[in-house]
Amino acid sequence: MLVIKPSDLISVEDYLTGELNSDIKHELIDGTVYAMAGASANHERISGNIYRKFGNHLENQPCEPFGSDMKLRINANFFYPDVMVDCSFDNSEPYFTKTPIIIVEVLSKSTRKKDTTLKLLSYINIPSLKEYVLIEQDFVDVQVFRCSEEVRAGYQAIIF
């Protein structure tokens, strides 16, 4: 078991500075930095198509799509979702957003557990979020978690 001493944890400021200078993307979760692996061709096809469809649909609208190079900040944690839609992007923080309304993750064997547990639990607590979409890259399966406006804490899984 890996034991992390408090001195091994990285600050948000150090993480953000490091990301600006790094050729590899990293997520920051509870003070620990995790390198992101490369994506498969299927993963890129799916996320690219979703991004393009969102972009076409949102043209001349106040909302805009972001791809996997835009960070999502949730408290002191930072993630790189595959695709996000944000309607109130804060230009004072050009390298991350806190207010997505839709988040899409394309699942792989290496990311499925994190995307369906840690990220799901983190994402559903974002006040602006309306949908969290999970798309399998190796077989046909899409899950959409939608927020109920009447019951903010109540998410309903809808499987297509």
> What CATH number has the domain bearing residue 60?
3.90.1570.20
Query: Which pLDDT does position 1 carry in this prediction?
Result: 37
Each residue's pLDDT tens digit, 50-94: 999 999 999 999 999 999 999 999 999 999 999 999 999 888 899
Q: Which among 128, 33, 114 has a CA at the least distance from the CA of 76?
A: 33
> For residues 109 and 128, what is the distance between their CA atoms, to the nearest angstrom?
29
Each residue's pLDDT tens digit, 22-42: 999 999 999 999 999 888 999
Please give the model's pTM, rounded to 2 decimal places. Answer: 0.86
Any domain includes 117: yes
Each residue's pLDDT tens digit, 86-122: 999 888 899 999 999 999 999 998 889 999 999 999 9
| Contact predicate 121/113, CB 8 Å | no
| Contact predicate 68/117, CB 8 Å | no
Burial environment of residue 61 by CB neighbours within 10 A (0 to 12, 13 to 18, 19 or more) = exposed
Any domain includes 29: no
Parent domain of 141: 39-159
